[in-house]
Copies of this chain bind each other. A is one copy, B any other.
Amino acid sequence: MNGTVGEISGVTREFCARMAGVRPGDLPAKAMHEGRRGVLDWLGCALAGSRHPTLDVLLAVLQEAGGRPQATVFGRGLKLGLLDAPIANGQAGHVLDYDDTHMGGTVLHTSSPTLAALFSLAERGRAAGAEFLLAYAVGFEAGVRTGQAAPGHHKGGWHLTGTLGSIAAGVAAGKLLGLDAGRLAHAMSIAATQAAGMQQNRGTMCKSFHAGKAASSGVLAALLAERGFDGSLEIIEGRRGYCRIYSDVAAPEALIDELGARWEITRNGHKPYACGVVLHPVIDAVIEIRSKANIDPARVQSIELRVHPLVISITGVEEPATGLQSKFSVYHSAAVALIDGAARIPQYTDQRAGDPAVIALRRKVKVTADESLGKDQAEVVVVADGTRHRAVIGHATGTAGNPMSDAALEAKFMANAVPVIGEDRAQRVRDSVWNLDRLGDVRELIRLCA
């Protein structure tokens, strides 16, 4: 085999040796609670996403070509193979662009790949809730820290939820399987070597497909490593490893810096709005203006935005033709936020993207990039009937600096889940997740979401 874990020299091996040894009791209470919050929010997104038309296409193919009924597709009353259910659940979790976002040196929607992988494996055998939450937190570390080790990664054009997502999913899955240090490192290697997803596919069905494929690749990596399949044990730091070829800058030591003392899951963010996260401060500002002044959209002369430059490069779609594209349009988002006072699922449909009132208003949006603003900041001025209405956002709702409360997350979950599984089941899921670390078998929770 290509190297065994004896003397720990490289960061991949050290990371995996440390993470293989960690136990549920090692997880700080805040990390455990962020785990519960993450599971609750993600299950709501996956349930709501399961009704998206994109899933119909994907499931038709997976039902023809996929595996035996082993793992639940949430919200569909359907099971697929261990490697196929994660594609569906990962895509469902991300398709609405409503799932969690980690912004600490990355822009990573960790939960869709990671939890889609873990829920699939949790149906293979009994998994306790506390072990499940630990594996989730460990996967988070792997994905986020690899991103920090490859800081040129996002700028290079990669969709991190696909690339880092594969690594997060593989390490999480390996941890849930209880792999030892060496096999966990091979799982990380096998997962990393499958990492893919291009930003070119923003606004297409492929964007959320990246999350699903990452989940599936992670499960496969862990199952292979469990049986002795090998990969390079320097997959992150090696000469042709991850932080050399996915990034123009390599910082491999980030993989182990303060490892065990800092848990990245505690810096996770949750979205109040169902669109690209960099749009959120703009939407906060527009909704604030609308709540203070009774503005008739038809009488608006202009909507002037001052934003972080990423808003233009990531969400600069001026004339979105589909609901998926509209989730990456700052023009559309400002317009619907002013018309509806909201930016949730109904605001990002194909129909709303083609709505004449929205189109008329989005053409009045003017965007100025300002390097001095943070990614969670924005200034908005709405000019209507000659009056200038202004709002400034310091930390957008749902970011680490202004987190959604547990109550707000619950309300979001219920709004997402009730239309799919009904009020009674949704309440039972919610209660089960808040007590997940005491649940003896995660399959009880899965059955409620089928």
The A310-349 residues at the B interface (CB cut-off 8 A) are 321-322, 324-325
Q: Is the CB of B232 within 8 A of A204?
A: yes
Q: Of A66-74, A135-143, A423-431, A441-449, which stretch is located at the interface?
A: A66-74
Chain A stretch 181-220: residues in CB contact (< 8 A) with chain B: 189-190, 192-206, 209-210, 213, 217, 219-220
A245 and B233 CA atoms in complex are apart in Å by: 25
Known: A2-B322, A81-B66, A84-B67. A242 touches B198 (CB 8 A): yes
State in angstroms the CA–CA spacing of A240 and B160 once bound together: 13
Contacting pair B203 A2 (CB below 8 A)? yes
Q: Give the complex CA separation of A83 and B223 in angstroms.
A: 17
Q: Which residues of B contact A244 (CB under 8 A)?
A: 157
Bound-complex Cα distance A64 to B83 (A): 10
Q: Give Cα distance in the complex from A240 to B232, angstroms.
A: 28
For residue A1, which residue of chain B has the nearest CB?
B322
| With contact pairs A81-B67, A82-B64 given, residues A230 and B245 touching in the complex (Cβ less than 8 Å) | no
Check B223 against A61 for contact (C-beta < 8 Å). Answer: yes
A234 interface residue per 8 A CB criterion: yes
Question: At the interface, yes or no: A65 with Cβ under 8 Å from chain B?
Answer: yes
- For A219, give the chain B residue with the smallest CB separation: B65
CB of B198 within 8 A of CB of A196, answer no
Q: Is A58 an interface position by the 8 A CB rule?
A: yes
Given contacts A157-B244, A193-B210, A194-B213, contact A231 B64 (CB under 8 A): no
Q: Among the listed B2, B162, B217, which residue makes an inter-chain contact with A204, where contact means beta carbons less than 8 Å apart?
A: B2
A309 close to chain B: CB less than 8 A: no
Whether B206 contacts A232 by the Cβ 8 Å rule is: yes
The reply to whether the CB of A292 lies closer than 8 angstroms to some CB of chain B is no
A277 within 8 A of B: no
Chain B residue with Cβ nearest A68: B68
In the complex, whether A224 has a CB less than 8 A from a CB of chain B is yes
- Say yes or no: B57 contacts A228, CB within 8 Å: yes
B189 and A201 form a contact (CB under 8 A): yes
Given known contacts A157-B240, A205-B229, A206-B230, is B198 in contact with A235 (CB within 8 Å)? yes
Q: Check if A201 sits within 8 Å of B81, measured CB to CB.
A: no
| A293 within 8 A of partner (CB) | no
Cβ A204 vs Cβ B230 within 8 A: yes
A64, A201, A241: most-surrounded residue (chain B CB, <10 A): A201
Instruction: Specify which chain B residues have a CB less than 8 angstroms from the CB of A202 in the assembled complex.
Output: 240
Query: CB of A419 within 8 A of chain B?
Result: no
A220 partner residues in chain B, CB cutoff 8 A: 61, 65
CB distance from A247 to the nearest CB of B (A): 11
A217–B206 alpha-carbon span in the complex (Å):
13
Q: Are A67 and B70 in contact (CB under 8 A)?
A: no
Question: Taking the complex as formed, is A238 at the interface, i.e. its CB lies under 8 A from any CB of chain B?
Answer: yes
Q: How far is the CA of A68 from the CA of B69 in the complex (A)?
A: 10
- What CA separation (Å) do A196 and B242 show in the bound complex? 11
Contact between B235 and A200 (Cβ–Cβ < 8 Å)?
A: yes
Is B65 within 8 A of A245, CB to CB? no
A98 sits at the interface (CB 8 A): no
A158 at the interface (CB under 8 A from B): yes
- Residues of B with C-beta under 8 A to A209: 190, 193, 224, 229
Is A60 in the interface zone, CB < 8 Å from B? yes
Query: What residues on B are CB-neighbors of A245 within 8 Å?
Result: 156-158, 198-200
Complex CA gap A42/B399 in Å reads: 53
Shortest CB–CB separation between residue A91 and chain B, in angstroms?
10
Q: Which of B64, B198, B242 contacts A223 (CB 8 A)?
A: B64
Q: Of B57, B157, B235, B241, which one neighbours A229 at CB under 8 angstroms?
A: B57
- Closest partner residue, chain B, to A166 (CB atom): B196
Name the distance in Å between A62's Cβ and chain B's nearest Cβ: 8
How far is A229 from B54 in the complex, measured between Cα atoms in Å? 7
In the complex, besides A157-B245, A200-B242, 4 extra interface pairs with C-beta distance below 8 angstroms are A57-B227, A57-B228, A65-B81, A157-B239
- What 7 A-B pairs come out closest when comparing CB atoms? A157-B245, A65-B82, A157-B240, A199-B240, A67-B67, A196-B196, A200-B240
